[in-house]
Structure 1
Amino acid sequence: MGVFRSFGIGASTARAALAWVQRDPKSAALRRTNFHGREVTLAGGPALALGATAGAASGAATTRLKAAVVTAGVVGGAVGLYDDIVGNRPEQKSAKGFAGHLGALREGRVTSGLVKIGGVGAAGLVASALIGSRRRSGFGRGVDVLLGAGVIAGTANLLNLLDLRPGRAIKAGTLLGAPLAIGRGGALAAGTLGASTALLPADLDEEIMLGDSGANALGALLGVAFTARTGTAGRLAALAALASLTAASEKVSFTKVIHDTPWLRRLDELGRRPA
């Protein structure tokens, strides 16, 4: 019953948050033009961050795990929203990718993207420390915390990289999160998936977009759910996979790979509004 309860809390909170953000007079600043040339709103991002955080926190088994959820979800969503708004300015658009943001820093410019990277990384470290480790030695616990931080930040970054087409990040998050919603501790992931599922129809219909705010929060919370259920080996394997995908993204277009792979293209287009 805890899984369904958390799923429902995540879904209802996300829908309520979306309506609340859209009613705000300042929400006009969140309007953007998507790849089809249609006007959409970035309100889906903070709505997903709030809903997923509330749903996941309701399913967390301990106070420390609840604190880890709130840290990852709120900070990930907040710094992502900052990048969504500030990063749209002309002087910010020239820096692309991790290398681009580091290059701007060497020139003395702190980009909104670098703020986002630093914020997500710090939140991942704090969240992982709150989750802790089952190992007895101080060194072993420290390694586990660093691995967990990498998984949380890396998953946030991966979903952010995928959020280039309607529904893509939520579909990827569902594939990653569904196994985590099964069994003991599954309510945490279920709460996160409840929020994203509630917003999927509006995302596919190109009424909203997640932006960095929603994609970062979704990924970070799934990273928390994974880290809470795994030890050293699991965290190391996940981090290696995430690092490989991140490195590949600097050289290869994920959108092109998806388009050129028939089964991935069909999954990516499933439910999407026609061009």
Structure 2
Amino acid sequence: MTQIALTIAGSDSGGGAGIQADLKAMSALGVFGASVITAVTAQNTRAVTAVHGIPLDVIAAQIDAVLTDLDVGAIKIGMLATPEIIRTVADGIAGFDGPVVLDPVMIAKSGDALLARDAVQTLRDLLLPRATVLTPNLPEAACLLDRMVADTPDEMAAQGHALCSLGAGVVLMKGGHGKGDICRDLLIGGDRIIAEFQAPRRNTRNTHGTGCTLSSAIAAGLARGLALQDAVAEAHGYLQGAISEADRLKVGQGHGPVHHFYRVWAA
């Protein structure tokens, strides 16, 4: 049986993030990736220069086309851009009873905004309660909660608990924007810390697409039937390898992508 995961996200013309990163990560982990494109971005390693939202009826048609034919084991949701797109996606996946990984994409690695300010509340209301796993970085978690960015592990845990109280099944608080030589990710469920994942903070500029890659890798594990904590652990390990090997790639002049196929490409 072929395991299938669906990514609902924006397209990155530079190939390092968004739909392109999602499909690469899913493929690298042995899962067939299907896609629903919500927006087309003119993007490279240095900047996002244009964003075009896909018409709502076309987004809805893409979701319907995939879910009425393919046996999707998990859904990853990334860039949604506007309140209207969020509502369309929420309606489109209403009948899906499998796991959903929600990556609340707000800002590109270049610093360009990818989510309209008036869309945050809609995302919080309609999709957080639908998320089996929510994967915010520290600025995204703060924005969702209207708080200051967490600066300590205790603050990270408190914000993870608060996001669970908004309806997310579990929250993976990602520490990539934190400080110190060790990067810590906290997997939060309700009022407890389920697991902590640590890795050395890598000295590389090539981290474009890390959030997309991690959330898609989690979805791939869930599509293969892994238990939630095991899927997160596998995805964390895969991403650390992709970051550690990122400098093998020479792509662009800004923040280059991680190396999705470091396990299969020749050195």
> What is the TM-score normalised by the length of structure 1?
0.30
Q: Specify which structure has the higher proportion of helix.
A: 1
Rg comparison, structure with higher value: 1
Higher relative contact order (CA 8 A, sep 6+): 1
> What is the TM-score normalised by the length of structure 2?
0.31
Q: Specify which structure has the higher proportion of strand.
A: 2
